[in-house]
Amino acid sequence: MTWFFEAYSAIRRATPYVAIGAIFGVGMVSAAVVSVTDNVSTFSTLQSPSGGILSDATYDQQTGQGADDFVGDSTNGHYGFYYKFGQINGTDSLVFRFRLNLLGDQQGVPKFTGNIRLGIDGDMNGDIDLYFGVSTGQGQNPEIVFQNPDAGKTNVSPNTSGLGTSYGNIVTTTSNYHYSAVTDGSSYHTNKPGVPNADAFLTFAIPFSTFKTYLESQLTGHTITLESYLRFLAFSSTQGNAVNQDVYGITGIGTVRYDQGGGFTQFYNASGKIIPEASTVVQAAMFLLSGLGVVLWRRKRSATAHVG
Ligand SMILES: [Ca+2]
Ligand SMILES: [Ca+2]
Ligand SMILES: [Ca+2]
């Protein structure tokens, strides 16, 4: 499929962006005020490329920590990967929420002690261009970190992915981070499969401007806007430099490419609007280009007729 995205990227570069935006009604967004503590019913679920809501019902984390295991499927609508966009303290922000198998604790106090990351494909070519998420260490408070893809790896599947040194660390506060037991009654399995207990929600937010700056630094020649086409991968990890614990949307870790059923979401723009399937967009772009060709042919024909 690499050819597809290369071809599509070429068409996008050749097609006036405003035309694509006009076709699909993508316009300016008036961001609502949001909070990391908003009810889950106000968040959007994320869809798989094939159109269904991405789910991860199984206890399939690979390293033994139930508190780092994503859960969520269609049971009572309790999904595990949510998104919303809006303003927090006047700043345009991306807000992500995950449902985890078990509420972690440190000496009896609820606390997330693992690592959750997202990987972003910001240029539609199938590889991850930026990682970010919640990082914790030896008793440290969670921080929001950014990491560049390891340049020596292709970053197209779990076993070809590597995360570089973290940077841009953001201290977590009650405004950009929330971790608590769910209150919607959901209880997927714990470390002991078949013994359910309450799930946990981990929610964090990052400023869009920070996201834009770091993603653009990885994508030479690209400008990231609220209308840019993005797709997301979510995973947990025992280390900050690898994809080794639970990939949201697939069983276990696997070796499948992210863009071939390996965990990437459908394409979205940053403001949370789902983008029509890329093939539809390509067809529309081809239609525009063919229409342009007809117009040019008619003009040329008309000019020739006048000459004659
Ligand atoms: Ca899982
Ligand atoms: Ca990419
Ligand atoms: Ca999984």
246: enclosing H helix or E strand: strand 246-247
Band the pLDDT of 296: cuts 50, 70, 90. low
Distance 235 CA to ligand 1 centre (A): 9
Distance 154 CA to ligand 2 centre (A): 10
Distance 179 CA to ligand 2 centre (A): 30
In the prediction, which pLDDT does 298 show? Answer: 58
**pLDDT 10s digits, 93-128:** 999 999 999 898 888 899 999 999 999 999 999 999
> Taking the CB of residue 143, how many other CB atoms lie within 10 A of it?
18
**pLDDT 10s digits, 201-257:** 999 999 999 999 999 999 999 999 999 999 999 999 988 899 989 999 998 888 899
In the prediction, which pLDDT does 50 show? Answer: 87
What is the number of the ligand closest to the CA of 5? 2
Residue 8, pLDDT > 50, answer: no
What is the number of the ligand closest to the CA of 73? 1
- pLDDT: is 23 or 280 the higher one? 280
Distance 201 CA to ligand 1 centre (A): 14
SS3 category, 79 = coil
Whether the Cβ atoms of residue 266 and residue 231 lie closer than 8 Å to each other: yes
Q: What pTM, to 2 d.p., does this model score?
A: 0.81
In the prediction, which pLDDT does 143 show? Answer: 97
Could you tell me which residues are beta bridge partners of residue 276?
A: none
Distance 66 CA to ligand 3 centre (A): 12
